[in-house]
Amino acid sequence: MELSVKILRYNPEKDSKPYFQEYKVPGVAEDWRLLDVLHEIKWKLDGTLTFRRSCAHGVCGSDGIKVNGKNRLACSILLKDLNYKKTITIEPLPAMPIIKDLVVDMTSFFQKYEVIKPYLITKTPPPPDVERFQTNEDAEKLFESAKCILCGCCTTSCPSTWTNDNYIGPAALLKTYRFVFDTRDEAPDERLDIIDNPDGIWRCHTIFNCIETCPKEINITWHISQLKTRLATREF
């Protein structure tokens, strides 16, 4: 089967602005990952095509791209799940500066993640020689949020991010949940203070783009709503 793909190309060393390039890729099958197609192009047709990838099975978060208008991981989407008889359009993740082709500069994404103090903060010293206790139920409340692979698909799909660069974004909010709701953490208020501002959680208008795009199928808005409830009910 021959596949037709249109990829947004941009090499700052050569190009004044991004442009689409179309490739005809022969010999593909519908059970191929889109990443296999990118590799096929890079390895056989055009060695200059540039994208990130590592694990190739949806766990490292390297290859977030925009496919037919939707953010996804190239390695987690098969051709048969796309409308592959028509030309597939591939662009870099939106709302971040392009470094080259599909590679974007994720600095601001990681900065926002660091802002919320993404590490366990405790004041009471842990019990010596044993783990802190936590019920499995409480542990499992964290698992869905801890699944996040920091791919950036959600934050860059969020209309609030598009209109305001400073919006902290769903990924960082999800991470906030991960710690605020950890029964072992002793600084939930510190973190809640960080997100409790106009560029923080209140810029989320529950538009759901983030959930639709998350490759780990995390119910991000549910987690954000838990934080909102917590904020609304917290006592000072």
Give the footprint of other proteins on this chain (CB under 8 A): 11-14, 31, 33, 42-44, 46-48, 50-62, 76, 78, 99-101, 103, 105-106, 110, 114, 117-120, 126, 129-136, 138-140, 142-143, 146-147, 149-150, 182, 184-185
| β-bridge partners, 64 | 73
Q: How far apart are CA 220 and CA 148, in angstroms?
A: 10
Contact pattern from residue 59 through residue 98 relative to ligand FES, giving x for each residue in contact according to CB under 6 A and a dash for the rest: xxxxx---------x-x-----------------------
Is residue 153 part of the contact set for ligand SF4 (CB under 6 A)?
yes
According to the binding rule CB under 6 A, does residue 67 interact with ligand SF4? no
Here's the x/- map for ligand SF4, 81-120, by CB under 6 A: it reads as: ----------------------------------------
User: In which element (H, E) is residue 108 found?
Assistant: helix 107-115
Q: Does 191 bind ligand FES (CB under 6 A)?
A: no
CB of 64 to ligand SF4, least distance (A): 7
236, amino acid identity: F
CB of 171 to ligand SF4, least distance (A): 4
Q: Cα–Cα distance between 44 and 171 in angstroms, integer?
A: 36
- Residue reference for tokens 């470094």: 99
Q: Are 120 and 99 in contact (CB under 8 A)?
A: no
Query: Where do the H-state alpha helices sit in 1-79?
Result: 34-40
| 61 backbone dihedrals φ, ψ, rounded to 5° | 80, 15
Q: Is the dihedral of CA 121, 109, 38, 77 positive or negative?
A: positive
Q: What distance in Å separates the CA atoms of residue 127 and residue 198, rounded to the nearest whole number?
A: 39
Please identify which residue in the block is written with the tokens 């029964």: 183
Contact between 21 and ligand FES per CB under 6 A: no
Q: How far apart are CA 83 and CA 8, in angstroms?
A: 18
The entry of other proteins, ligand FES, ligand SF4, none that residue 73 binds, CB within 5 to 8 Å by partner kind: ligand FES
Nearest residue (CB) to ligand FES, 33 versus 203: 33
- Contact residues toward ligand FES (CB under 6 A) are 53-56, 58-63, 73, 75
Which chain residues interact with ligand SF4 by CB under 6 A?
A: 148-154, 158, 160, 170-171, 174, 204-210, 213-216, 218, 220-221
